[in-house]
Structures are given as structure tokens and as C-alpha cells.
């Protein structure tokens, strides 16, 4: 994902961390880690064989090991 987002503007970001860091990434539900980011004017080129997206607005939610767009 680090190399997939080519351009864009971060409009807002929030972070929630609840639990002991030694238990991260909280696979047994012993805590929660969330990063919620609103992006605009974003270009995404995920991987070969997938179509590139441009000028998109998106909400990204990282929750423990999962990513939701």
C-alpha cells in the first residue's frame, strides 16, 4: 500500500489505540488499533492487473490487521 497511493490529500485522520502494545496486533481481541483517514484527489495504482484509479475520494479504515476502503 505504501507504493500504491501515488498522489492525494489527507483531509482528516484519527487514531484509536486501546490495549497493551505487547499484545499488538490484537488477533485475540485483547485490544483495538484503528486509523481512519479521509483522502481526496487521490490516485491509486494497487498492483499489476488491477485498473488504476484517479481523482478519487475515499475513506480508509485500518482496524487491527484489516483494511477497509
At residue 4, the pLDDT reads 85
pLDDT digits (tens, 9 = 90+) for 31-50: 999 999 999 999 989 888 98
Phi/psi class of residue 10: alpha, beta or left (left: φ > 0; alpha: ψ in -120 to 50)?
beta
Report residues of the chain scoring pLDDT below 50: none
- The burial class, CB within 10 Å (0-12 / 13-18 / 19+), for 34 is middle
Q: Which three three-digit cell numbers place residue 26?
A: 490484537
CA proximity to 2, closest of 58, 47, 41: 47
CB atoms within 10 A of CB 56: 13
Amino acid at each position: 500500500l505504501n507504493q500504491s497511493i501515488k498522489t492525494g490529500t489527507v483531509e482528516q485522520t484519527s487514531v484509536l489505540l486501546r490495549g497493551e502494545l505487547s499484545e499488538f496486533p490484537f488477533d485475540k481481541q485483547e485490544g483495538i488499533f484503528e486509523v481512519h483517514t479521509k483522502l481526496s484527489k487521490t490516485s491509486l495504482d494497487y498492483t499489476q492487473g488491477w485498473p488504476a484509479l484517479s481523482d478519487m475520494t475515499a475513506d480508509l479504515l485500518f482496524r487491527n490487521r484489516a483494511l477497509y476502503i
